[in-house]
Amino acid sequence: MITLFVNASQVVTCAGPARGRRGTEMNDAAVRTDVAVAVASGSIAGVGSIADLRSRFAGAEEFDCEGGVLTPGFVDSHTHGVFGKLRYDEQELRAAGLDYMEIARRGGGIHSSVRDLRQRSEDELFALAERRLRRLASFGTTTVEVKSGYGLTLEDELKTLRVIARLAKALPLRIVPTFLGAHEIPLEHRTSSAARRDYIDLLVREMIPAVARDRLAVFADVFCETGVYTVDETREILTAARGVGLLMKLHADELTSAGGAELAASLGATSADHLAAVSDEGIEALSHANTVATLLPGTMLFLGKPKQAPARRFIEAGVPVALATDFNPGTSPTANVSLILTLGVSQLKMSAAEVMVAATVNGAAALALAEKVGQIAPGFSADLALFDVSDFRELPYWYGDNRCVATFVGGKPCYARDLAVT
Ligand code: NIG
Ligand code: FE
């Protein structure tokens, strides 16, 4: 079946090389006006004038974009989408002066989500995550990475990853699973250095091999941070993951500058995420690597931190920058990628074109999917989002708003809002 998407006021194609965009490349979202998009068998078959496409694809069905803006579906490359209870209590504690890491030291934070998730069944977690991911889809996201990391036992991590696998089957979204068994040192392993060592052994000898054997994850990730995993521990865990064919990600230099970015570069990680506290050496190291810097400005905003990742310095150094929500119950409970675009412009000082590229092509690169999704160009999967705005710069502009009308994954409807509100 062939469908022509017609009457878009703009098509943000992001067309170009099928890899993370760097430097000034990021400032070109390849926006086209007066073009239609042909989709055949789930892929983009052409982008051109309506007249051309109508004659090339005679008899094609037409989808009327009604003057909206058509973009590649957002690629939200960093979420912790499977969790149980909400943690608004911690938001108030922070407002009262308690720091995120202090809350964790007192057994809250990630530990609190871990206690909760361990008690829930796979079915219950599936039901909760399904609703939450549908919400993500309603903001224009068509590909979402989902991490485990609130189980922290072999059984509870596998339970979480099985939930993610079920979500991938049940939902029209494209879902990329990540094993984050190294999200924290579980409290029962914080009693002595031997107990801590036991957990790392468990990760390396049992959990990572089991995840790879059951093909439950594409990526492995580690929270490399002062007070959580050291650089040496992170290297050991990710080297084991790489050894069994998993790709690598790091939560790097989120709150303190601990050498995470340098490690990501030296390991050849696909992405280094957060980076609000990255050092000069970290930026330099990433500029020589093939690693995407995934920035999560919603997290710093929600934690009430004044600091944001130095996006401009990354871009100037030629490091591909992606933007994502970090959707999770503790530090960033937002599903709204457009809001992240707003923060990209207003806080990270990126241009509207740069934030669009960061949330599409570069998000895809952060998931090793840049050859398949992230741009509206012939051969790419027809993963599309339609917004009821007439200029793409309105997406970061109407902050907090949701202008998404419909999304498609592989040409099939993923999300549809019945009534466009303007
Ligand atoms: O990306 N920093 C570590 N992990 C998450 C937070 C998880 C949580 O607090 O539950 C993050 O911010
Ligand atoms: Fe995270």
Please state, in angstroms and as integers, the Cα–Cα distance from residue 286 to each residue in 2, 32, 206, 314, 336, following that order.
42, 32, 31, 8, 28
Residue with CA nearest ligand 1 atom 5: 331
Indicate whether 421 pLDDT > 60: no
For residue 2, report the distance from its CA to the centre of ligand 2, in Å. 39
| Mean pLDDT (whole number) for 276-281 | 98
Point out the ligand 1 atom lying closest to the alpha carbon of residue 109.
9
Indicate whether 42 pLDDT > 70: yes
Indicate whether 390 pLDDT > 70: yes
Report helix, strand or coil for 64: strand
- Which residues in 133-195 belong to E strands, given as ranges? 141-147, 174-182
d(CA 132, CA 143): 14
Residues within 6 Å of ligand 1 by CB: 80, 109-110, 113, 223, 251, 254, 299, 326, 328-331
pLDDT in tens, 152-189: 999 999 999 999 999 999 999 999 999 999 999 999 99
Residue with CA nearest ligand 1 atom 1: 326
Mutate to test the pocket of ligand 1, among 99, 114, 328, 334 (most ligand atoms within 8 A of CB): 328
Q: What is the pLDDT of residue 418?
A: 74
For residue 372, report the distance from its CA to the centre of ligand 1, in Å. 28
Point out the ligand 1 atom lying closest to the alpha carbon of residue 329.
10
The pLDDT mean for the chain works out to 97
Q: What is the pLDDT of residue 419?
A: 46
Ligand index nearest the alpha carbon of residue 145:
2
Sign of CA dihedral 114, 119, 123, 127: negative
Indicate whether 17 pLDDT > 80: yes
Residues ≥6 apart with Cβ < 8 Å to 360: 12, 14, 71, 72, 73, 74, 75, 374, 375
pLDDT in tens, 358-386: 999 999 999 999 999 999 999 999 999 99
Token pair 């990475």 is at which residue? 145
Ligand index nearest the alpha carbon of residue 249:
2
H-state helical runs in 2-99: 50-56, 88-95
pLDDT in tens, 83-121: 999 999 999 999 999 999 999 999 999 999 999 999 999
Indicate whether 422 pLDDT > 90: no
